Structure formats: C-alpha cells, structure tokens
Structure 1
C-alpha cells in the first residue's frame, strides 16, 4: 500500500491480493475521528485519488476488498498532505509507519534514545527541499545531541543533521532548523536519533523550500503576491510566503499596531520565484502585528497575531 501526497490530492495505490472481490472500498480518518468510507472502485482496480484533502493534515487510509460475503480489513496507512504549492511538508512525529525504541504519546514522540528511529514510508520529495525544521523540547543536559535524517534505509545516506539546542526544559517547545541536501523523488524517510538517552520530545518535522526554480514561461505567468502567514495565531514562529514575477529589491518588514518598525525579515535583491520565510522574534510581546512586503513598485500588508 502506498500513499503519495500532492499539493491538491493524495494518490493511493496497492497490490490486489484478492481473487474474488467485487471491488475495493476506501476508508479515511483524520486525527481522532473514526474511519469513514470516501469511495468505491471496481474489481482489479489498484489506484484511487482523494482530492478532498486539506493541506498540512495527517490522514489515515484503509483499503478493503469486498464481495457478497463481506469485506476484509486492510492495514492502516498514514499520509501527510503537502502545503499549497508543495513548498513545505509537515510530518506529525507520531504519524510514522515504523519505529524502534521511541514512545508515542498520541500527539508526538519521546524517549528518543541513541539509535532509535521513526520511519515514514514512500515520502515524495518532489523537486527537493533545503531546510529541515523540528518542533521539539530539549533540556539543557541533552543539548548538542543530533537528529540524523536518512533516506531509503536505517543506515542510508544522511541528507540533514539537526544538532538540538536547549529549549529551557521538557515542557518548552521551540522550533529548530538545519539546512538539508536537496533530494528528489520518492524515498523511505528515517529520522535517527544520535546521542545519549532522552534526546528530546518531538511534535513535528517540516521540510521547506526557500525558493522554487521556475522556467521563463512560469516567470511570465507570475504576479506579485503576499500570502497570509501560517500558522496564525503563532508562537514562537510563523511562515510567510510571497512570490515575485521579476528580479527586484525586496524588503519584508514587521510593524506593531502603532505602526512602529519592530523587525526586518528580508532586505536584499531577489530573483523571480516563490519564497518562504520563517519569522520569529523572542523579544516581541503578545499582540497584533503587520508584515509588509515591498518589491519594486509593489507593496502589500497583512496582519498576524503573536500569542505567548
């Protein structure tokens, strides 16, 4: 059974091991919901497309072969949907397909000791990502331990190494990032924990693409655009996406509710393309803020809410 997440759908495929089925029923659930049937297809069919998914959600699918005598119960298979144009993909840590050693608390993973791992099957890297982000808690005594991201097998090639830093205790979640090698295509994905016992607790892992390489035809089709940040409200970090149809000087600035400049997230020349910026500022108080994109003659502003 394989589930591939695309920006606007999930593509399911499986092996037909039955010889007398009338067809296959496809069940789906999200989070703690119960399974619900979302479709049926005829006998000897082995693919199904679910186009009713929402970005950055974890869905679990089940395929059932059925006939007049009833139906069998297939294996549960979690799939994590991508975000928008595929510039980011978030993996809920507890939605792994296989693990060794770790503890699953239903909303994340813990007890991540040296050599433990979680595996996500058939992950689609698409054209590749260049940034790994993890939301985790790490007490001071375990700072400096590592999360190794590997592909294809437990001891496969390492494409990213996140050296975790002290977050101020087991209950204080923070986002930490590391650069990663751009890998394309579909691979089994392993997060392998390296260091002493109790490396940290992990809520989710996210892969992001800082910009998208586009063709000359794509460039002509682009317009200036500033997207709403996500998540919103946020704490401590949020992502701001924007796109440029041509090269220009770009500034992305943050203002408080009184219009005072409090931070500058971007101030540089950039080429045409899609961009995704991670923004956080621990010195800012809770409240409403505005972020403003200025690019050439274009200017746009949106509101976001920080909650501590």
Structure 2
C-alpha cells in the first residue's frame, strides 16, 4: 500500500471529547503460548513464542500478511490499543477496521504514519484512500492506539503513538460503509521481515451479538462486513456483490487465490450451506474453518470431493476422505463440523444429498476453532457466484479473552489532599486488568491534561496531578475504563 500523490489530503477539525460507546472487550498478551481463535490469512510463518505473536517472512516475493482476532465483525464505535516488539522489521502495514470495500485506520510506511480511510476499494495494491493526517514517526513504534467514535453523521477519529496523541479529528458526513468491518492488522514486506505483537486490547460492538445461532446472508446488502483475503493484488477487484449475488470472477493467465471470511469470527461447531453455481475451469473451490495456512480443516471441490486438513505451510493438505463427483452438478453445498472431544466429525451434503463423511482423530488444538471462509484457487479463469449463505454456529469464546465489561471494573477514591497546592494524589482500584484513561478538566469543562492513558493491571494505582501554572479554582478528574466512567472534584487553592 503506497501513499500516492494522487491521494486527496483532507483537513481535519478539532474533535470533541466524545467517548466510545462499546459493549465488549477483547484482550490478549499471548502469554498462554497460543493464538487460538485468531485468523492468519498469510503465507508467512506464524507462531507464538515468549509472549509474542510472531510473523516471519523470508522469500524473494512481496506479500501481505493479514491477521484478525477472534471477535468477528464490529459496528459503530471501536478502540484498539496495542504493543509491538522492538525487533519488528516489517516495511509497512495497516491496523484498523476493514470492510468489504472499505477501511479506516493507521497506515505505517517506513518512517511515515498516516490516518486514512477508503470507501470504494477496487485495488489493495494501489488503493484510492483519503488521508486525515500524515507525519513522520520512528520506524519502530512500540505502542499505538486508534479510537473511532460515531457522533451523529460524523466519525471522530483519534490516533496515538507511544502514548502521544498525534491526531484528533473528524470525518464529516461519514459514509455508512465505514461503520462496520473486521478489525485487522496487515503487514507488507518483501524479501524478509519479522513482526512481534506483544499485546492488543479491542473495545467494540459485535456485528453478530449472539454466541450461537444462525446467520443468513442473501447479499441484498452490497457491502456486508465479509473480509476478502488471498492474493493481495487480485482480491479487491475479483470479488464483488451485485444483483443479490457474491461474485468471484477472475480472468487471467496467472495463478491466484481468492477468498472471503464470514463476519461471525472464530467458531467451534458449525453447519454452513452455500447456494450458487459457476465454472471453476482448471481451479478448485474450498470451504474451510481456518486458523492459519497450516491449521485448517475443510472441503476441497475439484474433479472430486476431498475432506482435508492442513499440515504444512507450503505443501498440499492431508486428505481425510474423498468421493468422486462432477463439480458442474453442484447447486447447493453444505459442510458440517462437530468437535466431539478427541475427534472432529465432518459431513458433506451436495444438493441436499449426503455425499461424504470423515473424521479427524486426536487433532491439534489449532484445528478446533477458526474463521469460516470459502473461495477459489484459480489456475487461469474462474467465474462463480453465490446468492444465499446460511451458517449455524457456536462462537469460540473464553471469559479470559472476551467479555462484557462489568460495572465494577474500578473504584475511584477522593484525591488527597483536597484542597491542594500545587499537587494532589488521585487513587483508583481496578478489579481486573483494563484500559484506563484519567484526564483533568476545568470548571467550564475545558480539557487540561491526561494523567494516564494505558492498559493497567488489577489492583490499586496512584497518580500525581501537579497544578503548577494553573489558576486557583475547581477542577474535575474523570476516570474511564471501557464504557464506564467516574468523576471527582478537587479544589486548587493558592
């Protein structure tokens, strides 16, 4: 993704102090030694080690590594706070929210960072996007944050690097396509790069709220928050929605990979039915539950049906079972996966007829959850469409990683001393780790300063407010943790 001169630079206006209204929180520091529930849509090597999520690429061709957390698509407000390892060497990247043909977030490129958005992406290689802010930064930023808040018809956007707010502005009359999408991190590199994600916290509103149920999509909405992935140069233009159909159309002489991931997020058990038709020519069609390019299970349709699971990053999958079939006869295809203790039971129906079954015994844990996706591997030409999708699902969730923020996330104590001159101590207690912001305002509500804006551990914390240079009078301090806040009053008396 290159910052082109033809991109329009939009001026920003000062953003009011509007707080993101979110219902759910996701946090991980990868200390558990795994990244279960994450989706890694990348040919790069991905592994968790020493409390870091590692992405490593060593090849002579440029690639994009696209990674997503387990939470699925989000709507309206969201915030992202993250830390990366100091030894990361990727050439550039993006972190934010990606819609079907849109995105909003932060782009990094060498020593430059920009806050950007796009509403009609036809190419990810050279996209037309609009810049809200651009500036120089260190090549390796250890901490960052992004907050997007819907305010009437506008979107308020705030970005920070290494605890410093670098942009605080507004997208006026924001298009609807920016209000939903999937949180993602995309890294760009050639030859060799490595990236270490230390921790990430996301506050969000889920697009699909129920942890289990049925999701139906008839593509009457032309921009549902499905996530495109595959060959970065091809996916944006080759996958589109028109006439109530999701179309995957590719006409070229080079090999490509074109997929879409559902907005549900990571799932365990599922029952997915696709209705559609088309011509794969010399290619293949696949339906998968995918964790990464090694950890996936699913169905491949070529000149036969194959239930498979991934075993190596660059090699072919292992075959669980197979059945002869003419792919031209398929109008309805249904794949069911059920985790049964030490076994994954897999069932395939073609045109409502039971056609193939298989079992994966004693699977590694990474095969037990993942993001649902489907698409094609095309040798030259492919022309397929889908007009209806139904998914019965159970989401992958754990209380330790994804939860609704409790009301008693924190308690705020009175500052001491009060009245004070020139400094006072503000204490607060967290019942669990949380992203916390403590800011000071004057009696008229004017912002004065931020005392802390960071992810803090559970327990009691103490912050000193030094009022040197301020006039005597009443001031307020406001503590925010997630969607909850408390305010205290203090008096500076000189």
Same fold (TM over 0.5): no
Bigger radius of gyration among the two:
2
TM normalised by structure 1 equals 0.31
With a CA cutoff of 8 Å and minimum separation of 6, indicate the structure with the bigger relative contact order: 2
